[in-house]
Amino acid sequence: MTPREILNELKWREDKDISKAEIWYTSRDTNEGFTIIAGDDLTELGKSFFSTAQATIPFYKIFRIIYDGEVIFDREELEKKRFTQI
Residues 51-62: pLDDT tens digits?
999 999 999 999
Structural domains of the chain, count: 1
Predicted structure pTM score: 0.87
Beta carbons of 6 and 73 less than 8 angstroms apart: yes
78 has pLDDT over 80: no
Residue 55: which region, alpha, beta or left (left: phi > 0; alpha: psi -120 to 50)?
beta
85 confidence band (pLDDT: 50, 70, 90)? low
2-15 mean pLDDT: 96
Beta strands in 1-86 (DSSP E): 21-26, 34-38, 44-45, 49-51, 56-58, 62-67, 70-74
pLDDT tens-digit series, residues 66-75: 999 999 999 9
Q: How crowded is residue 78: how many other Cβ atoms within 10 Å of its Cβ?
A: 12
Q: Which range of residues forms the domain containing residue 7?
A: 3-84
**For 53, which DSSP code?**
S
Q: How much is the pLDDT for 58?
A: 97
